[in-house]
Amino acid sequence: MPDEPSYRYRPDVLAHLARHGVFPTTHTPPQLVRNFLRDLYKYEIRRLRDEMLAEKFPKGEYYGRVEALRQKYPVLSLLPRQFVE
């Protein structure tokens, strides 16, 4: 389709996305990719909170676990337009 936009994702962004099982094509809009990754992060945060509330780990460890999880998603600090070259 000639009118369909094409995106060239940055190699570092693609490498990060692959660690989460996300493999956008050249026709996948960056906003869609970022939204999916954000939803995955939110799911993991909720799961972590639920585990804390179920006393699967001490409450004092929660902040450190949240911080470790946040560091697994550095691409979320980028704007969608920064995903592409």
DSSP secondary structure letter of residue 2: T
**2: pLDDT strictly greater than 90:** no
Residue 47 has pLDDT above 80, yes or no: yes
pLDDT confidence of residue 1: 53
Tell me the pTM: 0.86
Q: How many CB atoms lie within 10 A of CB 1?
A: 5
Give percent above pLDDT 70 in the chain: 98
Helices marked H in 3-85: 11-19, 30-53, 62-71
**Is the pLDDT score of 67 beyond 90?**
yes
Asked whether residue 16 carries a pLDDT value surpassing 60, the answer given is yes
Q: Tokens standing for 18?
A: 């692959």
> 32 CB contacts (<8 Å, ≥6 apart)?
24
